Amino acid sequence: MGKIKVAIIGPGNIGTDLMIKIMRLSDQLEMSAMVGIDPNSDGLARAKKWGFATTHEGITGLIAMPEWNEIKIIFDATSAKAHHYNWSKIEPFADKRIIDLTPAAIGPYLVPPVNLEQNLDLRNVNMVTCGGQATIPIVAAVSKIAKVHYGEIVASIASKSAGPGTRANIDEFTETTASAIEKVGGASKGKAIIVLNPAEPPLVMRDTVFTLSELADQEAIRKSIHEMVATVQSYVPGYSLHQEVQFEIIPEDQPVFIEGIGYQSGLKTMVLLKVKGAGHYLPEYAGNLDIMTSAAMATGDKMALLY
């Protein structure tokens, strides 16, 4: 069986990086079409130069293409609002699946090392956010060992790596990521913060993960986290611990107040991560693109095996 043909909606930073990854790295997927709304976008120009079908008429233009019949998987790298419209047009075509790289979250949250197998047969899955893909595996790793009362993540990305789509979705980023920390990561309460860092030269993506869990074996938690980091590294080579895992015991007589769940004691775990990009489209500082597109491609590769 040959490769499964795919289309990408959204020729911005994320969509263009994903296109290059599929071209260079995927054993299961074949680029067929790039879809946008700006005829002058760099992503559409690159796709056309490389011989792929293109349209600047959005999803309606894609459906009108002769290539549409052979396309089985569509990656949506537009915006949360646009995804709702795109899915309404794609849903009637029963042989098509969509991998949503926006924070729309119509389909369930999917973080490959945590819940890929459980969601493979669904037609619309959501890749959460770049911060979610980097940090939720860590929350899940702690949850394997101990009940997590609270999970908080801070994602810091280079301002230059945040295109118009990312900037338009800041509110959705925090809401979607916080929700996924709970639903996928296993925390009773989640919180997410994103920082667009204007530093020059640009810094690589940095993520900080805090969890407050029941008291548990610290070495078991450390081992679980290291195993999860290795799993993520299998498809995002630039993903790594920035420092060793740190622990602090919050005693019962000195609990901390967490909005939504009240006073809690237990074990605080802090994990510092960095994500260096592969430099396929933007420079290495754009690890936020790399982890998002790598996770999406890993999902698409697995979905392709269903056809």
Catalytic residues: 130
- Compute CA distances 114 → 25, 180, 183, 294, whole Å: 22, 11, 11, 15
Query: Is there a contact between 299 and 117 (Cβ–Cβ < 8 Å)?
Result: no
Helix (H) or strand (E) holding 93: none
- Give the C-alpha separation, 226 to 137, whole Å: 11
Q: Is 58 left (phi over 0), alpha (psi -120 to 50) or beta?
A: left
CA nearest to 7, candidates 306, 290, 294, 300: 300
Radius of gyration of the chain (CA): 19
In which residue are the tokens 């790594």 written?
Answer: 240
- Counting Cβ atoms within 10 Å, is residue 241 exposed (0-12), middle (13-18) or buried (19+)? middle
